[in-house]
Structure 1
Amino acid sequence: MVYEFLAAAGVLALLTMVPGPDMAVVTRRAVAAGWRDGLLTVAGITTGLLVWGVLSVAGLAAVLAASATAYTVVKLAGAAYLVVLGVQALRAARRGGHADAAPASLPAPSGNPWRTGLVSNVLNPKIAVFYTGLLPTLAPHGLSPHTGMALLVLVHAALTVLWLGGYVLLLAKARAFFARASVRRGMERITGVVLIGFGVKVATAQA
């Protein structure tokens, strides 16, 4: 059972480190508003994972994963949210003014960072598919299905906090560089395009 758990944790770690919408959202908040906003965004994303975990253990996420209509509705809502965040980032970059503008003149992202992370994660139906499709196959056989699933959800949440939280703190180490208006404006453009790209990818993805 121990070896099965370690193998499952390894798979979850690899999946956690793959860049995706969560990292793009965290990057924008951390670079534009600071490490506190970045960590709050990570907390919101982690809360979203726990919400999906509870739904998965209860069997409700399986309904979403199996229903083409429900999956499409959540998918399009999530895609629209990512596109909105991307457009906001591009608009913030345009409002930055000249290249030598003071950092304070660059607008910070609007909205509560925790809620931003939560909504972006909860509106990602791929998490439902992942938790109901792959996670049960990784659960150690020595535990009941519900216990094994709950344990792996907690592991995934912990790995997400460590990985994205560490990423935010790494960005904070380079805060002098990212405080430059031209750099922040460039990052807003990059993350804006990336978020819109992820939104399009989510919208066109198949279940």
Structure 2
Amino acid sequence: MLSFDTALTFFTLAMLLGYTPGPDNVFVLMQSAMQGRRAGFYVVLGLCTGLLVHTAAIALGLAAVFAASALAFTVLKLLGAAYLAYLAYQVLRAPVGPLADQAQLRLSPWKMYSRGVVMNLTNPKVVFFFLALLPQFVDDAATAQKGPVAWQIAQLGLIFIVATLISFGSITYFAGALSQVLKRSTRAQRGLNWLAGTVFIGLALRLALAER
């Protein structure tokens, strides 16, 4: 097992990163404000599922193979950018008013959850981030006490996921309160739709232009 000091240090760092503005927490913020707290929490669960996949890939060494392929990086980032552009299109053409609010409530938990999964898995930067971060907390010389490298990485990944649930969950909780205000204002709904569409387009461009 990881030492308490290592686990605490990594958890603290993960919490700070969770509150640092970035594509994932901005995505959570906008989805929670538009769809409400419950939908936002499903998005967070989807993002954390993606982190589970990334953790397993790092532990098994698959991420290093992916990182070495320029083609894989390019294909994945373009798919992610296309998905964000698609979400921007949906938001910008969405109707406003009471009927629009009812339609939003019909979005299934699975749909919101899948948005989080796709958002995380189509961001190749997450792979490089985990490749750069997790090994720094692995002790190769202490595998007898802390377990094999893969097991240490798995523990770090789980700690990161817990920190993400807490940090993104709190963002969801407070952003969800905004959705209650939006239900009473058509102008606010329209403004948020345009804001969300602009944010998604910005995230799409940022991802499409990202370099390894």
* TM-score by shorter chain over 0.5: yes
Residue of structure 1 equivalent to 2:133: 134
Does the aligned pair in 2 maintain the 1:28–1:188 contact within 8 Å? no
For residues 123-181 of structure 1, give each alpha carbon's deviation from its aligned partner in whole angstroms, at most 9, with x where no partner exists.
01111111122211123564332122111111111111111111111123344323222
Post-superposition CA distance 1:175-195 (Å, at most 9, x none): 432322222221221121111
Residue identity in the other structure for 1:194: V
Correspondence for 2:104 among 84, 101, 108: 108
TM-score norm. by structure 2 comes to 0.85
Residue 19 of structure 2 corresponds to 17
Moved over 4 A (4+): none
Task: Determine whether 1:31 maps to 2:36.
Answer: no
Specify every segment of 5 or more residues in structure 1 that has no aligned partner in the other structure, as ranges: 97-101
Cα distance in 1 between the residues matched to 2:139 and 2:9: 10
3-state SS of 1:108 partner:
helix
Query: 2: CA distance between counterparts of 1:80 and 1:4?
Result: 38
1:99 maps to what in 2?
none
Map 1:60-139 → 2, pairs under 5 A: 60-92=62-94, 95-96=95-96, 102-106=97-101, 107-108=103-104, 112-139=111-138
Q: Contact 2:36–2:177 at 8 Å: present in 1 too? A: no
Q: State yes or no: 1:147 paired with 2:151.
A: yes
Does residue 205 (structure 1) correspond to residue 210 (structure 2)? The answer is yes
TM-score (norm 1): 0.87
Of 189, 192, 198, the residue aligned with 2:197 is 192
User: Where does structure 2 lack aligned partners over 5 or more consecutive residues?
Assistant: none
Instruction: Give the residue type in structure 2 aligned to 1:145.
Output: V
Shift of 1:105: 3.0
The Cα RMSD (Å) is 2.0
Q: Provide the C-alpha distance between the structure 2 equivalents of 1:173 and 1:193, rounded to a whole number of angstroms.
A: 21
Aligned to 1:158: 162
Instruction: Specify the code of the residue in structure 2 equivalent to 1:108.
Output: Q
Aligned-pair CA distance for 1:43: 0.7
1 CA distance for matches of 2:18 and 2:139?
19
Q: Distance in 2 between matches of 1:176 and 1:198?
A: 26
User: 1:149 is matched by which residue type in structure 2?
Assistant: I
Letter in 1 for 2:205: V
Q: For 1:45, give the aligned amino acid.
A: L
Counterpart of 1:3 (choices 5, 15, 24) is 5
Aligned-pair identity (%): 33
Structure-1 separation of matches of 2:82 and 2:132: 25
Q: In structure 2, do the counterparts of structure 1 residues 139 and 184 end up closer, same or farther at CA, with 3 Å as the change threshold?
A: farther
* Pair 1:72–1:173, CA change in 2 (3 A): same
